[in-house]
Amino acid sequence: MKGMHDAINTAAVSGKGAEEIVSSLTEREREILRLIFDGKCSNEVADILCVSKRTVDFHLARAYVKLGVSNRFQAFKRAMELGIINA
């Protein structure tokens, strides 16, 4: 089942250009991705942004959908490929 889910996500994202995917992310989603990739956990991001952990997780989940991924590792890899973050 997981393989099918990944295939559907990849197909959905591959139909869009990198620029379109990046522009579909909100500023808050990009900000949360950057903080997560800087090594912060959801609770730390919530404290930094003065929002609840649930809000952080919501934005992160929306970013995963837009990136066509299902976890932080995949999101990190995809964000690197798209130039959203730098190593």
pLDDT in tens, 8-43: 444 445 556 888 888 899 999 999 999 999 999 999
Contacts of 64 (CB under 8 A, 6+ apart): 70, 71, 74, 75
Is pTM beyond 0.85? Reply is no
CA distance 13 to 69: 9
In eight-state DSSP terms, residue 16 is: S
Ordered structural domains, the chain, with CATH: 2-82 (1.10.10.10)
Interval 42-80: pLDDT, tens: 999 999 999 999 999 999 999 999 999 999 999 999 999
